[in-house]
C-alpha cells in the first residue's frame, strides 16, 4: 500500500516530507548516536571493573542478610569462615614492664598479635625463621624517666642492629632488613657490656614490641 502511495506522489510531483517529521527523524538519529556513545563508555567501564576484580576471592555470603533481623551479619560471617592468608609475619609486645634487665638479657614479648608461619615463640622471645628469604624486622623499646637502655637485634650470633634510648619515657625503634636462612634464630637483647638502667616499660601508653615479616 505504502509503495503505491509513494509512487503516486512521485509521479504527481507532489512528494514532500513534512518538516516536523524530518526534524523528528534527525532528532532520533542524534539520540541514537548519543546512546551508542553511552553504551561504549559503559562497556569500557565494565571491562575495567572485571579486570580489577580478576583473581579476587568472592564471598557473596558476607553480604547476605541475617534472617533474624534483616541486617547484614558481616562480622559474624567473617568469624565463622577463615579467609585464606599466605605469608610469614609476626608481631608481639610485652604485657608488663621488664623490671630490671641485666646485660646480655634476651627480651621476651609475650603477647602475640600475629604469628603467620608460627615462627615466633612467646616463651623465649625468639623468632625461628620458617623459610629463607629477605625479612623486615622491627623492635621498639620504651624506657622509664631519666633512665637509659641499649638493645640489639641479633641473628644467630651476629648483631645486625642496635638502639639507644634515654630520659623522659622515650620510645626508640630499630629496623633491619636482612637475608636469612631457614632455621636462623632472631631475637632482641640488652647490650652485653652496657646493661642499662631501670625498667623497660610496656603498658597501654606505649608498648615495647618486636615484629617482622617475609618480604620475598
Give the helix/strand (H/E) hosting 26. helix 19-53
Give the pLDDT score at 33: 80
Residue 62 has a pLDDT of 42
The DSSP secondary-structure symbol of 10 reads H
Residue 42 has what pLDDT?
Answer: 74
Better-scored residue on pLDDT, 94 or 194: 94
For residue 203, the 8-state DSSP code is B
Q: Alpha-carbon distance 140 to 176, whole Å?
A: 12
Q: Give residue 102's pLDDT.
A: 82
Residues 196 and 119 in one domain: yes
Whether 206 and 117 map to the same domain: the answer is yes
Report yes or no on 200 lying in a domain. yes
**pLDDT tens digits along 13-52:** 444 556 678 778 877 888 888 787 777 777 766 666 665 5
Confidence check: pLDDT of 213 > 70: yes
What tens digit of pLDDT does each residue of 127-170 get?
999 999 999 999 999 988 777 889 999 999 999 999 988 776 68
70 belongs to a structural domain: no
Q: Do 106 and 169 meet the contact criterion of CB atoms below 8 Å apart?
A: no
Note whether 99 and 48 are same-domain residues: no
Same-domain check for residues 102 and 191: yes
Q: Residue 175 is part of a domain; what is its CATH number?
A: 2.60.120.40
Residue 181 counted as domain residue: yes
Q: Are residues 158 and 205 in the same domain?
A: yes
> Does a structural domain hold residue 158?
yes
The pLDDT, as a whole number, for residue 141 is: 93
Q: Is there a domain that residue 208 lies in? A: yes
Q: What is the pLDDT of residue 198?
A: 81
Q: Model pTM greater than 0.85?
A: no
Whether residue 5 has pLDDT greater than 80? no
The reply to whether 164 falls in a domain is yes
Are residues 186 and 126 in contact, defined by beta-carbon separation less than 8 angstroms? yes
Total domains in the chain come to 2
| 80 lies in some domain | no
d(CA 10, CA 160): 98
Dihedral over alpha carbons 4, 7, 9, 15 (to 10 degrees): 120
What local confidence, expressed as pLDDT, does residue 68 receive? 53
146 lies in some domain: yes
Asked if 46 and 98 sit in the same domain, the reply is: no
114 plus 172 within the same structural domain:
yes
pLDDT-derived band at 60 (thresholds 50, 70, 90) equals very low
Containing structural domain, residue 199: 89-214
Alpha carbon distance 109, 93 (integer Å): 5
Quick one: pLDDT at residue 93? Answer: 98
Please check whether residue 126 is in contact with residue 109, taking contact to mean a CB–CB distance below 8 angstroms: no
Q: Which of 57-61, 71-75, 101-105, 197-201 has the lowest mean pLDDT?
A: 57-61
C-alpha angle 193/199/202, rounded to 5°?
125
Residue of 81, 48, 45, 38 lying closest to 62 (CA atoms): 81
CB atoms within 10 A of CB 108: 19
Higher pLDDT: 112 or 102? It is 112
Residues 125 and 190 in one domain: yes
Q: Are residues 133 and 209 in the same domain?
A: yes
Reading the block at residue 180, the C-alpha cell is: 636469612
Provide the 10 A C-beta neighbour count for residue 177. Answer: 13
For residue 4, the model assigns a pLDDT of: 52
Query: Greatest CA separation found in the chain?
Result: 118
Amino acid at each position: 500500500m505504502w509503495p503505491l502511495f509513494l509512487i503516486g506522489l512521485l509521479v504527481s510531483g507532489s512528494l514532500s516530507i513534512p518538516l516536523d517529521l524530518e526534524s523528528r527523524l534527525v532528532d532520533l538519529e542524534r539520540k541514537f548516536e548519543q546512546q551508542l556513545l553511552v553504551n561504549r563508555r559503559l562497556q569500557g567501564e565494565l571491562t575495567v571493573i572485571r579486570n580489577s576484580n580478576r583473581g579476587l576471592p568472592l564471598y557473596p555470603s558476607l553480604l547476605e542478610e541475617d534472617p533474624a533481623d534483616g541486617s547484614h551479619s558481616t562480622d559474624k560471617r567473617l568469624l565463622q569462615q577463615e579467609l585464606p592468608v599466605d605469608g610469614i609475619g609476626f608481631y608481639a609486645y610485652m604485657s608488663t614492664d621488664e623490671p630490671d634487665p641485666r646485660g646480655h638479657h634476651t627480651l621476651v614479648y609475650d603477647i602475640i598479635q600475629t604469628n603467620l608461619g608460627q615462627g615466633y615463640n612467646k616463651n623465649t622471645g625468639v623468632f625461628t625463621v620458617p623459610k629463607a628469604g629477605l625479612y623486615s624486622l622491627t623492635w621498639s623499646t620504651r624506657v622509664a624517666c631519666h633512665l637509659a637502655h641499649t638493645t640489639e637485634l641479633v641473628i644467630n650470633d651476629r648483631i645486625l642492629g642496635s638502639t639507644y634510648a634515654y630520659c623522659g619515657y622515650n620510645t626508640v625503634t630499630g629496623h633491619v632488613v636482612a637475608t636469612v636462612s631457614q632455621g636462623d634464630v632472631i631475637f632482641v637483647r640488652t647490650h652485653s657490656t652496657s646493661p642499662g638502667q631501670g625498667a623497660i616499660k610496656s603498658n597501654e601508653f606505649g608498648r615495647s614490641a618486636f615484629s617482622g615479616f617475609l618480604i620475598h
